[in-house]
Amino acid sequence: MFAQLRARERREGRVGSLFFWRDRTREVDFVADVAGRLELFEAKWNEVPTVGDTVNLEFVRKVVGKSRIATGAVVCRTLKGYPLANGFRALPVTALD
């Protein structure tokens, strides 16, 4: 997943815009800064993620403010992406290409 996100960043001409976020108890696997707004990505092994898999995405959205979040997703082994009830999405890894 990191390699795919890094390749996407390079294709779009962004260097140094891919991070992770962590405080004492929570972390988000990948954060991309796109013109001052954040894209949040959580990596999960499962095929059918639920809202419960977005708890850390929700936390960051609350901390930084909803207006600073461009998008958020649980990237997983699902075959087809779908929306989750809280505004985030479940995405197949191939969607990052």
User: What single-letter amino acid sits at 10?
Assistant: R
Each domain of the chain, given as residue ranges in start order, spans 2-96
How does residue 55 score in pLDDT terms, banded at 50, 70 and 90?
very high
From the number of C-beta atoms within 10 Å of its C-beta (0-12, 13-18, 19+), residue 4 rates as middle
Q: Specify whether domain 2-96 bears CATH 3.30.200.
A: no
- CA dist 47 and 14 (Å) reads 30
Question: pTM value?
Answer: 0.90
- CA dist 81 and 74 (Å) reads 10
pLDDT tens digits along 19-51: 999 988 999 999 999 889 999 999 999 999 999
